[in-house]
């Protein structure tokens, strides 16, 4: 066993690697959906949609949460647990703000009269942004677990792997959101 762990020390941690493969897999799902969107947008009866302005605010919220989580990771590595708890709490709040703003964006669209009937940009937006929100919720659940552990953690191992995995996933969800937003602005017209 020592032989193996010696050898593995030089390599990327298996959990991090697993996360990267999982990210590849999530990318394929959104690639499938956005390419379906491109195909459909070139066909007849396509109805464009005006992007609600509130999505800019949510973009700011999630970008800012990425920043706070990165800072949390740094303070974890420097073993400043007080700052770490504060920053991870802040990340959680920002992520919930993001979700609330997404909800407001959906309400805005709904009030514009974009319903589920049909097959235009609005319906794709509901599905794609909705799936993205589910991925964010998954991340928030992990954040909550991490937050609770930061206060009750009995195990005194300062391995930063879980926090790093969390941060990587969160940055990914963040970038995915930016991609989806830019995608809708450019192609969704």
Partner 1 sequence: MSEAMHTTSAVSAAHGEHHDEHHGHHKETFITKYIFSQDHKTIAKQFLITGIVWAFIGGLFSVLFRLQLGYPDTKFPILETLFGHWAAGGQITPEFYYALVTMHGTVLVFFVLTAGLSGTFANLLIPLQIGARDMASPFLNMLSYWFFFGASIVMLSSLFIQTGPAAGGWTIYPPLSALGEASIGSKAGMDMWLIGMALFIVSSLLGGLNYISTILNMRTKGMSMTRLPLPIWAMFFTAVLGVLSFPVLLSGAILLLFDRNLGTSFFLSDIVVNGQVLPNEGGSAILFQHLFWFLGHPEVYIILLPAMGMVSEILSVNSRKPIFGYMAMLGSMFAICILAFLVWAHHMFVTGLNPFLGSVFVLLTLLIAVPSAIKVFNWLTTLWRGNIRFTPAALFSIGFVSLFISGGLTGIFLGNSTIDIHLHDTMFVVAHFHIVMGVASFFGMFAGVYHWYPKMFGRYLNNTLGYIHFWVTMIGAYLIFWPMHYEGLAGMPRRYLDKRGWVSFSQFGDLDKMITVVTVIVFAVQLLFIFNFFYSIFKGRKVTTQNPWGANTLEWTTPIRPGHGNWAGEIPEVHRWPYDYAKDGRDFIPQTEPVGANESAH
**Smallest gap from residue 91 Cβ to partner 1 (A):** 14
- CA separation for the pair 166, 45 (Å, rounded): 42
In 3D space, the residue among 126, 120, 78, 86 whose CA is nearest the CA of residue 105 turns out to be 126
Residue 22 vs 50, nearer CB to partner 1: 22
Handedness of CA 188, 134, 72, 16 (dihedral sign): negative
110 CB-near residues (< 8 Å, 6+ apart):
none
Neighbours of 51 (CB within 10 A): 18
39 lies in the binding site for partner 1 (CB under 8 A): yes
Segment near partner 1 (CB under 8 A); pick from 45-53, 59-67, 70-78, 89-97 = 45-53
81 lies in the binding site for partner 1 (CB under 8 A): no
**Smallest gap from residue 57 Cβ to partner 1 (A):** 23
In 3D space, the residue among 138, 136, 118 whose CA is nearest the CA of residue 180 turns out to be 136
112 lies in the binding site for partner 1 (CB under 8 A): no
Hunting for tokens 């191992």 — which residue is that? Answer: 157
Longest CA–CA span in the chain (Å) reads 64
38 lies in the binding site for partner 1 (CB under 8 A): no
- CA separation for the pair 23, 57 (Å, rounded): 25
| Structure-block tokens of residue 157 | 């191992």
Binding mask 46-75 for partner 1 (x = CB under 8 A): xx----------------------------
Segment near partner 1 (CB under 8 A); pick from 69-77, 106-114, 154-162, 174-182 = 154-162
In 3D space, the residue among 71, 59, 69 whose CA is nearest the CA of residue 93 turns out to be 69
139 lies in the binding site for partner 1 (CB under 8 A): yes
Residues that bind partner 1 (CB under 8 A): 1-4, 7-8, 11-12, 14-19, 21-22, 24-26, 28-33, 36, 39-40, 43-47, 115-120, 123-124, 127, 131, 134-135, 137-139, 141-142, 145-146, 149, 155, 157, 159, 161-162, 165-166, 169
């Amino acid at each position: 066993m020592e032989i193996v762990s010696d050898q593995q020390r030089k390599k990327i941690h298996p959990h991090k690697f697993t996360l990267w493969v999982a990210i590849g897999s999530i990318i394929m799902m959104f690639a499938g959906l956005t390419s379906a969107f491109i195909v459909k947008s070139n066909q007849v009866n396509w109805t464009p949609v005006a992007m609600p302005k509130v999505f800019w605010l949510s973009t700011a919220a999630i970008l800012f949460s990425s920043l706070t989580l990165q800072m949390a990771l740094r303070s974890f590595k420097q073993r400043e647990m007080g700052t770490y708890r504060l920053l991870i709490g802040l990340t959680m709040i920002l992520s919930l703000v993001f979700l609330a703003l997404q909800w407001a964006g959906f309400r805005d669209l709904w009030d514009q009269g974009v319903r589920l009937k049909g097959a235009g940009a609005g319906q794709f937006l509901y599905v794609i942004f909705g799936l993205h929100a589910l991925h964010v919720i998954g991340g928030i659940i992990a954040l909550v677990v991490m937050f609770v552990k930061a206060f009750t953690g009995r195990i005194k191992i300062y391995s930063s792997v879980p926090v790093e995995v969390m941060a990587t996933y969160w940055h990914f969800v963040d970038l995915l959101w930016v991609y989806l937003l830019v995608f809708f602005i450019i192609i969704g017209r």
